[in-house]
Structure 1
Amino acid sequence: MTKLKGLNFLCICCFLFLLSGKPSDDGGLSKPAIVAGTAKITGRIIKTNTTNKDSTVVTVIVLQPISGENAQYNVLVDQSGKFSIDVEVETDVSLVGLYTDLNVRKLLFVTLKSGSVTNLDIAYNSDNAIENIDITPAINQNDVTRGFEVADKMNQYKSNSPSQSLYDKSPDYFLNNVKTSISKRLAIVQNDTLLSEELKEVLTNDLRLWMYKINAFSYEQLMMLNYRNITRDTSKKPEIQKIDRPYYRFLKDLRLNDIQYLNCFTFQGFQKEVLRNEIIGLPEVGESDIPSWLKNAKAILSDLVGFDDGQYYDILVANAYGRQLSEELRSFSEKQKENIRSYFKDGEIAKILFRKNQKVVELDKFKTPVVVNDIPSVSDDKVMATIVSKYKDKVVLIDLWATWCAPCLEAMKEFRSTKNEFHDKDVVFVYLTNGSSPKKLWEEKIKGIGSEHYYLKNTQWDHMMDNFGFNGIPSYLLYNKEGVLINKFTGFPGNDKVKKMINDLL
């Protein structure tokens, strides 16, 4: 086993269930409407303990289910404790995640309405625990303060039953095991007496998506892990039953044509799994005209999802374009723009895609090309020296990451604009991963990262983690121009701190 254990505080985004939905007249959640909108969050942070924070940062994480990724916004609180930030939303009413660096583990659900202002005043006690919250417009306080805790309990649930052998069973047996686990986890939210029924329904839907995403789409890897856990044999590779298209009939049980899935944070990650899965076999959208792409997609998916028409397919093609923008950081070609305008006209989905495309165009001005380096023959204890020696007379920032590590990917996304500031400086950015990142997915993701990349052997990776004392990722190594290690740390400390570290060495 490689040392890839994530730290809990680094994984907050992995378990974040961002919600959205339009209140109906009876207080329930009606079907969300797709809107290329903006919303404003204002408020005040009141803190009793002023000794440990000179300044406070408010972080807002907004689900963007059409462009296909969540957006993170950070705003610095002023000296009077006030803050204000505008965010882009993709549904008319959204519940987003919000926390401050006074207590990053305490995440709140807050309602945003496109075109309107939500005000949030938070009072912290001397231990930096939340003492009081005032929200305008008012929403259920238990939903605000306890929603994430309940979601996290479901995600972290562990059965007292002994581990059972799955690797030698059928794929259907495995899927039934997943369903059983879902039922046990759902009992946590179903038995909760404080959350609103509306929030409980959304958390239920999101839990199902999350469980299938991390289990059903990772069948082979999980069976290998199960084999090693059961047999304690790390040297052999067991014979695992192959899965085929009928395996994915579990998609029909999810009723994905329900527009309420736009309420679920996991939806965008789930859609990426559907789009990239080799067995399902959806084609890349490329420069295909949208009606032709959708015809092929429906022919492939309809028997698996249980329907051949509906808004789900429009969202799916939007997500396909979104993958190009967010994962490859590749802007639309003129042909793609023409195809989008022809199909979506001047509708909200087109507005959302073009809005996101413009951001990618701006980022692309400073994007560095991808360079893949191959060092499989280098001995484990010489890997780092070999890498650093390649970049003489340059400051080197090394990022240890993995394709499955949400905090790693979020840190890269947060650092994009700051990284661009060093495009003409004597700085090189190096990214290391290993076999825990599927090779094809790794090759896809590095297109949007740029810079220097290494795909290490597991023994090389293990030696590096041990040698530098790392227990989780993302982890970083910073070398000066003379090749001397100046700093090492786990967890992304923020753009300003990393920027200062690098500038101090230039």
Structure 2
Amino acid sequence: MIKIKLLFVCSLLFFLSCNRATEIATDTTNIIAGTSKITGIITPIDQNRDSIMVTFNVIHPISGENVKHQVLADQLGKFSIDFDMETETSLLWLYTSVNPNKFFFIKSINNHSTHIDIDYNSNRDIKNVEVTPVMNKYDMMQTMGVLNKMFDYRPDSPGWVYPRLYDKSVDEFLDRAKSTVSHRLALFVNKDDALSREFKDFIAKEYRLYLYTGHVFDYQREMKLNYRNATQDTANTPEIQQIDRSYFRFLKEFNLNDPQYLHTFTFSEFQSLVLQNEVLDLPKIGENDIPSWLASVKVILADLVGFDEGPYYDILAANAYGWQLNEQVEPLTEKQKEHITHYWKDGKIAKILFRKNRQVVELDKVKSPTVVNDITSVPEDKVMETIVSKYKDKVVFIDLWATWCAPCLEAMKQFRGAKGDFKDKDIVFVYITNGSSPQKLWEEKIKGIGSEHYYLTDAQWTYMMDYFEFEYIPSYLLYNKEGVLMNKFSAFPGNDAVSGMINDLLK
């Protein structure tokens, strides 16, 4: 059985018991439709400075996405880039191609410039980093390392036994999730005196969001995974307890009105799960007026989150529009614009949503229609032949993905603009997934992807992953116009690399 590897994935299978740590909110966050700038100088020893790529991610918690930016340093190692912001201050994580394994956390301030000087030694290790405005260097340099320790922690106590959770009560499962957060905070955060209070709180929130989005929201999937790992049985599927809305009482643990969540990188994914979860079954915002939509949402959520008023609900409403804009790449309707203006007036949330809408209008111009193809009756060993033969005299680019695969979704998002450059050319983009992607969620997500889609049976998917020797997703196949496989690779290599491969076959 193929093991699917995920970026930043750890397992609930290693939960320990401990008491919950206390969180303290230290920041008041002002929402603003603003811009900021990053400038910097990179000093490597043995690399051409004009070939250094700087990559950083900016949190957009109102429109509901994390935006990746890249900029190439010039021959002097200097770089500069302007970018949109949605809060008065924001955390960014940043790395360079000199050492892409070393991440920094830096702060940006609306309508200001943040400057970073990075000095590498001959081994491409960090020699020194200076940031203006000045921030706690330990926070900046070590936060990602602390988070990675929490992600990667495995108990090594003698006699430790892999826990069986699939046949235990839901309460036991939720208690274990809660105690895991507390235990890892106690191990790696609470006693680290070099970390500031602000960053301790940030790490606590980031890790809790990460753990629950990755392992608690989808109870059925997590229990099937637990069964497979605890029993080593890959042929059978256990009977998993059905959950109802009361399962999501764990949301009270988060104190979601705390504005510091707007600085966390997993918050947008968390909000997306709240909005799209089939058990919670929140209504779609559609063309409903916002007060009516919020009233129906609070009937479901208020008892679960522990409050019926506060800024969280406005953020959730904005994120509901953000889902449409980001995931479906569908511009706001005139009725939706009216509702946004009536509810938020000329406020910052309205400005942010309308700014995002203008970007989506441009993307929508080059988006291809979404076509769903059914080949579930095709034998496993004929799947790829059937797909490729459908697109005669076309270059065929195939993307193996899943709705739960964050790197898959990020790669698609990165490639949106470049993909539009191939509109009306002799190429077809094909997207393939299987039953690990909940069908209802899949049907929603593909509206924003466009192009050709296939939803394989598990047997078809397993055969294909084995046949092409893929160990994880995203993975890709590229066929020429004669239907010959020209390239296969895993992990998205970037827009330029993919566009180059395609252009070579279009000549």
Which residue of structure 1 lines up, in the alignment, with residue 311 of structure 2? 311
For the residues of structure 2 that align with 1:255 and 1:442, how far apart are their CA atoms? 30
Which residue of structure 1 lines up, in the alignment, with residue 442 of structure 2? 442
Which residue of structure 1 lines up, in the alignment, with residue 384 of structure 2? 384
- SS for the counterpart of 2:446 is helix
Is the CA contact 1:155–1:185 (under 8 Å) kept in the aligned structure 2? no
- SS for the counterpart of 2:268 is helix
Is the CA contact 1:2–1:461 (under 8 Å) kept in the aligned structure 2? no
State the shift of 1:457 in Å: 1.8
**1:102 counterpart = 2:101:** no
Which residue of structure 1 lines up, in the alignment, with residue 44 of structure 2? 47
Residue identity matched to 1:303: D
Deviates more, 1:376-385 or 1:344-353: 376-385
State the shift of 1:310 in Å: 0.9
Which residue of structure 1 lines up, in the alignment, with residue 456 of structure 2? 456
Is the CA contact 2:50–2:72 (under 8 Å) kept in the aligned structure 1? no
Q: How does 1:268-283 map to 2 (within 5 A)?
A: 268-283=268-283
For the residues of structure 2 that align with 1:347 and 1:375, how far apart are their CA atoms? 49
Which residue of structure 2 lines up, in the alignment, with residue 231 of structure 1? 231
- SS for the counterpart of 1:70 is strand
**1:166 counterpart = 2:165:** yes
Deviates more, 1:294-303 or 1:61-70: 294-303
For the residues of structure 2 that align with 1:492 and 1:277, how far apart are their CA atoms? 28
Is the CA contact 2:65–2:326 (under 8 Å) kept in the aligned structure 1? yes
Which residue of structure 2 lines up, in the alignment, with residue 38 of structure 1? 35
Is the CA contact 1:215–1:222 (under 8 Å) kept in the aligned structure 2? yes
State the Cα deviation string for residues 219-242 of structure 1 (Å, max 9, x = none): 111111222222333333322222
**1:406 counterpart = 2:406:** yes
Which residue of structure 1 lines up, in the alignment, with residue 75 of structure 2? 79
Residue identity matched to 1:177: R
Residue identity matched to 2:41: R
Which residue of structure 2 lines up, in the alignment, with residue 19 of structure 1? none
- SS for the counterpart of 2:139 is helix
Residue identity matched to 2:406: A
Deviates more, 1:362-371 or 1:402-411: 402-411
Which residue of structure 2 lines up, in the alignment, with residue 469 of structure 1? 469
Work out the number of aligned pairs and report it: 489
State the Cα deviation string for residues 304-329 of structure 1 (Å, max 9, x = none): 11111111111110011101111111
Consecutive unaligned residues of structure 2, counting only runs of 5 or more, are 11-24
Which residue of structure 2 lines up, in the alignment, with residue 503 of structure 1? 503
Deviates more, 1:292-301 or 1:191-200: 191-200
State the shift of 1:262 in Å: 1.1
Aligned alpha-carbon RMSD (Å):
1.8
- SS for the counterpart of 1:190 is coil
Which residue of structure 1 lines up, in the alignment, with residue 20 of structure 2? none
Deviates more, 1:209-218 or 1:301-310: 209-218
Which residue of structure 1 lines up, in the alignment, with residue 368 of structure 2? 368
For the residues of structure 2 that align with 1:88 and 1:233, how far apart are their CA atoms? 49
Is the CA contact 1:154–1:189 (under 8 Å) kept in the aligned structure 2? no
State the Cα deviation string for residues 332-365 of structure 1 (Å, max 9, x = none): 0000000000000000000111111111100000
Deviates more, 1:41-50 or 1:377-386: 377-386
For the residues of structure 2 that align with 1:222 and 1:448, how far apart are their CA atoms? 27
Residue identity matched to 1:141: K
Is the CA contact 2:371–2:452 (under 8 Å) kept in the aligned structure 1? yes
State the shift of 1:435 in Å: 1.8
Residue identity matched to 1:39: S
- SS for the counterpart of 1:35 is strand
**1:117 counterpart = 2:113:** yes
- SS for the counterpart of 2:316 is helix
User: TM-score scaled by structure 1?
Assistant: 0.93
- SS for the counterpart of 1:149 is helix
State the Cα deviation string for residues 141-177 of structure 1 (Å, max 9, x = none): 1111111110111122223332121111111111011
State the shift of 1:383 in Å: 1.4
Consecutive unaligned residues of structure 1, counting only runs of 5 or more, are 15-27
Identity across the alignment (%): 59
State the shift of 1:279 in Å: 2.1
Which residue of structure 2 lines up, in the alignment, with residue 207 of structure 1? 207
User: TM-score scaled by structure 2?
Assistant: 0.93
State the shift of 1:193 in Å: 2.9
State the shift of 1:466 in Å: 2.1
For the residues of structure 2 that align with 1:445 and 1:3, how far apart are their CA atoms? 24
Which residue of structure 1 lines up, in the alignment, with residue 13 of structure 2? none
Which residue of structure 2 lines up, in the alignment, with residue 344 of structure 1? 344
Deviates more, 1:35-44 or 1:242-251: 242-251
Is the CA contact 2:395–2:478 (under 8 Å) kept in the aligned structure 1? yes
